[in-house]
Amino acid sequence: MNSFERTTVFEIPLLLDMICQHLTPSDFQNCSRVNRVLFHAFQPHLWKTFRLLGEWYPDLDTITTAEEREGVIVAQQRLFLEKSAWVRSLEYDQWCLPSDLNPGILFAFREESRCRSLLELSTTFIDQEGDEDDVDSLFVEKPETNEAIKERNVFAAEALGALLDQNTRLNKCEVNLGSIDSWVLPVLMEPLKRHPYLRELRIAKWTHFHGPVLERLLKHLPPTLEVLWLNWEKVPLADQEQVEYDEPEMSFGLEVYLEDESEYSWPELFPAMQEVHLMGVYSGLRGPHILRFLQRCLHLHTLTWPGWPIYRPSSVDPFRFIFNLSHLHHHQGGSRIKHLTFNLGAFDDTLNTVLPGPSEAVETLRLARTALMSGSGFLQYLTTRWCDTLTVLEFGSEARVLHTDTLTILQSCPHLIVYRVESTLKPACIPVGTFNMPNADSWVCHDLQVLQISFLDYTSRNGIFSEDELTLDPEDLAFFQRQVSLLSTTSTTTTTAPERLPNRRKIRRIYRQLGALTRLQTLTLGSQGPYGDSRTLGEYYQRPITSLDMSLESGLYHLKNLVDLRVLNVGSIKFLNVGADEIRWMQQNWPNLRQICGLSNELQEKLQSVVQVGSGLDFK
């Protein structure tokens, strides 16, 4: 056997692993008819990840008689049960699947099931009435009432609990409840509490978590749990008014499952808990039970705070609580909270002063929806207390951060490795004329590896440029004299440049300063012109004056020292002005460049011919 054949054989498992994730159970059967020996040899690899969702199972769509349906069901049940011993990751959907083909029920309650080695388990429950075509019910008649839906889900929850009991090696479980935590969670609590190796639990919900049910769930978490996600998916837009409200809770069945709640007490500690993610806005993730739970997570180092103060509006200051919680854990021999994510709206009204105490150990801070105001207590706290430890600072697309905050932070946090501002709204964009970092050749945060910022041009609104804006620096003049082809004329003097270089001097200064960040690996740039993207006639210019582009004549060559750059994202730059010369320059000066993101399909096709064969550069 030659080397090519050996390489091909050893790559087959990886290829099969990729392919099998997109096959239906019927496809697996068809594979055996092609090559029985090969199929038999790699069956354990094929069945390692088993996802059975409604849209992936079309076999019953064309069945019209009960006899035909029964024959298909029996054949598929036999197939699933025979292969269940090989399944390591199982995902199934209670909403779309016929219940007699539901792996959770099959694998849990059938004696011939050998599903005992699951490592990951994920399922979705039915939470509302469905059309007759949507749900092939467990019952002869479709469940038209809440009572029928409840009965179906309680039975499915019992099957899930049985799966938890018989798969002691399971380390990750994900449950999408819809709006029925009152029916499902009480059934799962005992299996969860006695599971010996569960490491990660994710529970998603579409409405509020019911307080008593959530409190009992927290009391029943297994002592081995390290990561907990509680997520509510109805997230309002950033500009929506944030008011407190309560949706009607679906409380049917609570009297059955919660009548003995008083006999359950809080465990002394959750010794393994390291990450708690309380997601969503108005999620119901508030109340004293949440506070008691967090106080018992002695080794907590990662916390995601929900979209509203956990207890009641204005009754718990989130920063003061987290500050005290972190110091309490540290004093008791635990860990400080090092990684924080906030989904709050505007909270600066409650943060007008700097919190007392020693510097915190926060290393990672993500503000998903927070309005950061210049001069606020939080900004002062960020730049004075956390500046010595902060390495990652990210503002989400809905976080209303000001450009002045960006300049302050970049000049105050010497250990920053990642700084992202996803918002491209004008208040977050840095005016090109104000981006003048002191000691540009030696940034305060000189170790930056990931940078995402946007720029805005507020100058020259009337199309009038000063001589200072039109002239070239000696360094730029020397470059253009060597790159005559970049100009539309044959002259190498500055007298020919102004028509091609309006307002480029400030842009070249930006590139000159960014070029000092020699450790950058990912650079994401955006821009806004004074007129946005409008090409409406009657404005001063049909083509907006852009504040930034990626052309050599705008100063791209100042980034020649970014030899570690691997990813360049320019999707938010309005007019890229990138051509073949720029791509050749990038390949020559950035040997590690692997991706250029944000290019249009038309531009990708145009520049593909310039890419050197074997360079590994990819356009996206």
> How many Cβ atoms sit within 10 Å of the Cβ of residue 430?
22
Domains contained in the chain, number? 2
- Please identify, among 31, 46, 61, the residue that sits at the C-terminal boundary of a domain: 46
pLDDT bin (cut points 50, 70, 90) of residue 410 is confident
| Location of structure tokens 């582009």 | 549
At residue 497, does pLDDT exceed 90? no
Query: Does residue 134 lie in a domain region?
Result: no
Amino acid at position 266, single letter: W
Query: Does residue 78 lie in a domain region?
Result: no
CA 72/CA 69 separation, integer angstroms: 5
CA nearest to 308, candidates 328, 294, 290: 290
Which is higher by pLDDT, 467 or 568? 568
Query: Does residue 406 lie in a domain region?
Result: no
At residue 311, does pLDDT exceed 50? no
pLDDT bin (cut points 50, 70, 90) of residue 512 is confident
Q: Which domain holds residue 36?
A: 1-46
Percentage above 70 pLDDT, the chain: 59
Query: Does residue 600 lie in a domain region?
Result: yes
pLDDT bin (cut points 50, 70, 90) of residue 137 is very low
Query: Does residue 407 lie in a domain region?
Result: no
Q: What is the mean pLDDT of the chain?
A: 70
pTM tops 0.85, yes or no? no
| Location of structure tokens 């899930």 | 160
Per-residue CA distances from 553 to 430, 479, 508 (Å): 21, 9, 8
Query: Does residue 343 lie in a domain region?
Result: no
At residue 359, does pLDDT exceed 70? no
Read off the pLDDT of each residue in 372-388 and give the average, rounded to a whole number. 68
Which is higher by pLDDT, 147 or 532? 147
Q: Which of 165-179, 297-311, 471-485, 530-544 has the highest mean pLDDT?
A: 165-179
Query: Does residue 433 lie in a domain region?
Result: yes
At residue 37, does pLDDT exceed 80? no
- Half-sphere exposure of residue 183: CA atoms within 13 angstroms, side-chain side: 25
Read off the pLDDT of each residue in 59-69 and give the average, rounded to a whole number. 65
At residue 121, does pLDDT exceed 70? yes
Query: Does residue 423 lie in a domain region?
Result: no
CA 492/CA 159 separation, integer angstroms: 79
3-class DSSP assignment, residue 192: helix
CA 269/CA 554 separation, integer angstroms: 59
In contact, 569 and 524? CB cutoff 8 Å? yes
Read off the pLDDT of each residue in 138-157 and give the average, rounded to a whole number. 66
With b for 16 or more beta-carbon neighbours within 10 A and e for fewer, the 158-169 pattern comes to bbbbbbbebbee
Report, in angstroms and rounded to the nearest whole number, the Rg of the chain calculated over CA atoms.
30
| Location of structure tokens 């990672």 | 364
Per-residue pLDDT of 548-557, as tens digits, reads 777 787 788 8
| Location of structure tokens 């520049």 | 607
Read off the pLDDT of each residue in 78-83 and give the average, rounded to a whole number. 81
Range scoring the smallest mean pLDDT among 72-76, 347-351, 416-420, 547-551: 347-351
Q: What tokens were used for 431?
A: 């005016």
